[in-house]
Structure 1
């Protein structure tokens, strides 16, 4: 028997008790009659109060009733504010992100097939760059610059300048487009991984247990929001599609910002000692060997780009490099620490810059509930507790009614 039925049954019993004892004139009869009457009044008052939360009592009493339906939007806004301060607090999220070794997650993904996908994607990108190069123009430009500078020629800076100029060309735009499309194609497969879904579900479950505790409000909020891995990954996928579409739009602010960021990254690359060392080794090779740049550079670049054997050799070096990086990352604590710091700093910026998006998502989820669905959900969650108020109201009313009768009876006898 439901609590609502029990509360209604108690109210009926109080009414029948009042009728049955109405004509009794003895002390005990009047005591019971007063108790039943007070219990009936208390039960009816609490029934009215509980019903007024969800709907109009008796279907027509509208003054100050239907509290939840009338205040649905305000309640939703308050829930969103509560979630923003509590569950989606950026500091809270970032502190949890720091608990994960993301570098080892990269290694695990690579060992489960991600490495091969990365190789294929990188190969296609390199081939795209090679196929889009104007080798004749590049070769003559390099040859002219090399001949004019010779031994004091700063080739490391030239490469940086070339890359900065390249991303501004149509060929550079095509390469950027390819990178964006590659990320967009990879992400659905990555987000569809069972291991990722399991990790999300496990973490949501852990967070739910630790976060909710004994809080009825937090538990209620979790029931209203769909935090399943399928829904979260779909929302993220939609967000990635929306953002990459903006990046592919040459007139968008996002595209402009991306090119500015790429230029900054290229500039920062030129300041790294490791990069300068590699270029210095190349300079030593070319200048010590006295390579004839003007006669052979154009044909060398063209031959390299067109020769399938050179391409295969380059691809083999890329594969070896990727394998070496993953193997080193799996055992090198310093590399893991650097990569983790990179992920944490990047995620921190994303969270801080997009915290409002999370709140908007939560609000969209909450606003999916119609007034009736919202009322039904709240009633399902707290209805039993509210029905106990009705039962307690009848019990307290009965005790109060009998107590007042005893007091009035004693006072009458004392006053003669």
Structure 2
């Protein structure tokens, strides 16, 4: 097992870090200001000008579509090569979009690249790769426990040359963006089939008749504009049968191909977020005095800083192991490691961000640091791509299976 970064990855890391230093970190406040100005102008969901300004710069510097492996369209990096790049981007939550490497578009592009027809790729993948449109993945539903995806009730019914879709989805990330042009919808094509062969995935253009975006779901009171996580109703939505991906009953197969790399990306971004929180904690602790000595000299602070360093490095190593295993043996072989990182990384990030907020005092939960947004993102990712409990159950079953 070799975690040495390739020369290609190291070169991209250096270029990406330089871009972040020049163009992203100095303008974090500008992003917030433009976001607030859009709200005041009644344009809450419009794209943030700063991101649109930086995108062509990133593309000119060859820092574009870095996530897409084994493809003529992306950088062709392995999971292990891309992982440290995701960590660098993760230090500023909105920066991934600058490089066209943000969820859910990354997973959707990979899905269409792997499972779409030439027509799908021309119509949807090409503009997604160019950053001209956005996309969403519609799986979770309000009326069932969607952590068990076999519960999903949305119906996808064949009618002649079309499929007709009926159902209600929520927490559909990215659907608030007016550039969101395509949904990948998961639903049941055959409720009588074996449990994991009932589901299918289908491409649904966002402007199709019968789609109603009901409301944005709020995350800790914030609607997370301009990205948004929407509740959507599909009512007699009719799309061509050719929009079905791979075939009826193959939704779980597609999901397994889609979610493995996405979980690596999420976890490495969280590790970058945690590194940033630790950095902010150390700087704050070193600059404040309480009860006659610096906060950094307080025993509890030193204990937390040391523990944070240990936890971040452990989470990174476990994530890199999962990435390496996926590269050399495939997603199925790495399923235990993928489940473990999905538990470990968000839990670690929540703890360290919480400690960083505590060191900052009331400022830590205010708009004057990015920590409150960091925490909301990390806490949300304990649900996204499967809640902690589901992954823990899977890990335990695999472990018990060794002794059956």
| TM-score in terms of structure 2 length | 0.25
Structure (1 or 2) with the larger CA radius of gyration? 1
Q: Of Structure 1 and Structure 2, which has the larger fraction of its residues in helix?
A: 1
| TM-score in terms of structure 1 length | 0.25
| Higher RCO by CA contacts (8 Å cutoff, separation 6 or greater) | 1
Q: Of Structure 1 and Structure 2, which has the larger fraction of its residues in strand?
A: 2
